Copies of this chain bind each other. A is one copy, B any other.
Amino acid sequence: MTVQTDPRLARLAVDTIRFLAADAVEKAQSGHPGTPMGTADLAWVLWSRFLRYDPADPLWPDRDRFVLSAGHACMLLYGMLHLAGYRLSLEDLEAFRQWGSRTPGHPERGHTEGVEATTGPLGQGVGNAVGMALGAKMLAARVGEELVRQRVFCLASDGDLMEGVSSEASSIAGHLRLGNLVLYYDDNRITIDGSTSITFDEDVAARYAAYGWHVQHIDGHDHEAIARATEGALAETSRPSLIVCRTHIAHGAPTKQDTAESHGAPLGAEEVAAAKRASGWDPAASFVVPEEVRVFFRERAREGAAERGRWEERLQGKKAEWEALHAPLPADVLERLLAAAPAKDDATRSHGAAVLQKAAELVPSLVGGAADLASSTKTVVKGSPRVEPTSYGGRNLAFGIREHGMGAVCNGLAYHGTFRPFASTFLQFSDYMRPSMRLAALARIPVLYLFTHDSVFLGEDGPTHQPIEHAWALRLIPGMDVYRPADGYETAAAYGLALRRTEGPSSILLTRQKVPAIARAGGDLGDVARGAYRVAGEGSPDALVAATGSELHLAVAAREALAREGVNLHVVSVLCLELFHRQDADYRARLFPDGVPVATIEAGRTEPWRVLAGPKGLTIGIDTFGASAPAEVLAEKFGLTAPQVTARLREWLR
């Protein structure tokens, strides 16, 4: 599909891309004109000669992916999507960075057609691209190469490559030999604070070679060089490719080219006019797209549609394999997981292992792995091999001790569209991948996070490894559902509910230590799917005790002890507070009736539990760092044994 284009047209198209960006930033009086102007040549060559896409079907599964890791340069992407014929009008470009527009200040997947990844926080897009390339390889291993011709192209800035998340993801890509990935490094040597030389003089090319990448150097404004290097990168199918493109930020801006000033502020009307004049454009006109450029992209769109048509034909012969993998989730996934829920006393991480096997059976697209802790988090899909370099048929991924890379790669896998990825590590290390988790929530993609060792009760590893604030820190991320199951039944429920949710990510927090199976006599079992439900208690309660995870059995024990003293407690399990908040007001009021005192128990920060407990409620938990000691000693020291909890409730109820 590589076509040579008329140099005059190329010049016109590149100018169009540059001036659309400059005009939009100027009109918004806000944005980043420098990088779109500096990378317009790259984008033009890529979109005109290489990228396989069909604007009529933006989610055509076998399209090539283009990820703009340098999300601040979004006007480059919006300009290209407009020219390419996606649903993005000139009016949309004119509404750049305005309320409700399709053209926000950084690209948002799901918000703007054709945007493959939500980017802006630097380094993430590189990891997303690695995940997409991995998704393509894993898909090809399942349905055959003839249905998977997609390649992944990513454009990264200096900042992207300074971030550790891109280092981790690039090391993963090198290890897995993702030869379908091409990373253009926009080496413009300018960042916000000035020349990159003030802090970034490492040899990026040598570093990528050390990761096992194929590396080339080019002049990023030379179209034939860009095309040749891209062809070279595509021809190298056993390694990912880095193309170091020496570019000039704000290329063609008469006084601001190669300055930090052009990075994140409008160029100014005069500078834009002067740039247009220098290119023979009318300085008074803005948001102009010459007809020749439109004609060219219309033809590209026709080619894309034809290519998609050929793919649809190839698909006919493979419908069964394809659909097995892409079928919607069984509607009764929750019920089936609950039916097979583990019933014995055990660590919920072990229950998680059992439920994962069943879930993997029900959901063929479920794949994932851990950050070198699979044996501790027990997140291996049994009977399936590990994904290995050049062998991508397995369902288990070894991410290495690279949590942040894992997070970004899993987002990329979810963006890719075929797989339901899970990522696993200790809850403590959720902090390492928090930026990627937030982006999953913002992009509303269903990544599943499996965090074990979810409290001080992991024991001897001590405070560096013991989560205190983490459960609540995750609950605070808008759109993140956080489950903390108490036993095998709730672990199955958490998996089922999380899998059923396709519009955002979920975290499941599991214990290292053994916990008892909860007897649910007298509770409202059918309500587990409502996020919080009554586990035990009859009649009119004197108080409610709401607990989560490994502390639920303490509430049950305290209830039993105090019942002997004539106190009627109801026990509520808060499996997932976010899900509970989404229930109707009637259910919420029924579970927490007005005027009934509430105590909460969770082995972590107590302050936010005031949302249930109110000012007079009792919040039992831990507000300091943990300590290194055996779990049973910690329980005693932190006041989290059944007798201690009972005593505190008794005193509080007086």
Interface residues of A (CB under 8 A from B): 28, 30-31, 71, 97-101, 104-106, 108, 118-122, 158-159, 162-168, 171-172, 174-175, 191-193, 196, 198-207, 209-212, 260, 264, 370, 372-376, 386, 388, 398-405, 428-429, 431-432, 434-435, 438-439, 441-442, 459-465, 468-469, 472-473, 476-479, 605, 607-608, 610-611, 614-615, 623-625, 627-630, 633-634, 637
Contact = CB atoms under 8 A, between A and B. Distances in A.
Please name the 8 residue pairs, one residue from A and one from B, whose CB atoms are nearest each other, closest first.
Answer: A164-B164, A120-B464, A104-B628, A469-B476, A99-B629, A206-B210, A159-B401, A199-B400
Nearest to A401: B159
Given A608-B611, A629-B99, A164 B162 contact: no
Contact of A400 (B162, B205, B210): B162
Q: Which of A196, A462, A479, A637 has the most CB of B within 10 A?
A: A462
Given A163-B402, A199-B400, A207-B207, 20 more contacts: A30-B460, A97-B462, A99-B633, A104-B628, A121-B464, A162-B401, A164-B164, A191-B372, A193-B398, A198-B386, A200-B400, A201-B212, A202-B211, A203-B209, A206-B206, A472-B608, A476-B476, A610-B614, A614-B614, A615-B615
Contacts of A435: 429, 431-432
A162 B168 contact: yes
A36 to B, nearest CB: 15
B611 A28 contact: no
B106 A461 contact: yes
A428 B168 contact: no
Contact of A434 (B71, B431, B614): B431
Contacts of A623: 478
A479 B386 CA distance: 41
A190 to B, nearest CB: 11
Contacts of A388: 198
A202 B193 contact: no
A472 B429 CA distance: 19
A624 B476 CA distance: 10
A652 to B, nearest CB: 17
Nearest to A636: B99
A605 B476 contact: yes
A211 B206 CA distance: 9
Copies of this subunit: 2
A401 B163 contact: yes
Given A121-B429, A206-B210, A105 B28 contact: no
Contacts of A164: 163-168, 402, 404-405
A401 B460 contact: no
Given A172-B199, A211-B202, A372 B624 contact: no
Residue of A162, A168, A211, A370 contacting most chain B CB atoms (<10 Å)? A162
Given A99-B629, A106-B464, A434-B431, A210 B202 contact: yes
Contacts of A122: 401
Nearest to A122: B401
Contact of A206 (B31, B167, B209): B209
Nearest to A167: B167
A108 B469 contact: no
Contacts of A432: 121, 163, 435
B401 A191 contact: yes
Nearest to A260: B375
A472 to B, nearest CB: 6
Contacts of A101: 628
Contact of A438 (B171, B193, B431): B431
B462 A629 contact: no
A461 B400 contact: no
Nearest to A627: B99
Contacts of A106: 461-465, 628
- The winner among A171, A479, A628 for most chain B CB atoms within 10 A is A628
20 contacts: A97-B628, A97-B630, A99-B634, A104-B463, A104-B628, A106-B628, A120-B465, A163-B164, A164-B164, A164-B165, A164-B168, A164-B402, A203-B209, A205-B210, A206-B207, A207-B211, A264-B376, A469-B476, A608-B608, A608-B611
A192 B373 contact: yes
Contacts of A372: 159, 162, 191-193, 199
Contacts of A100: 627, 629
Given A193-B372, A202-B174, A97 B460 contact: yes
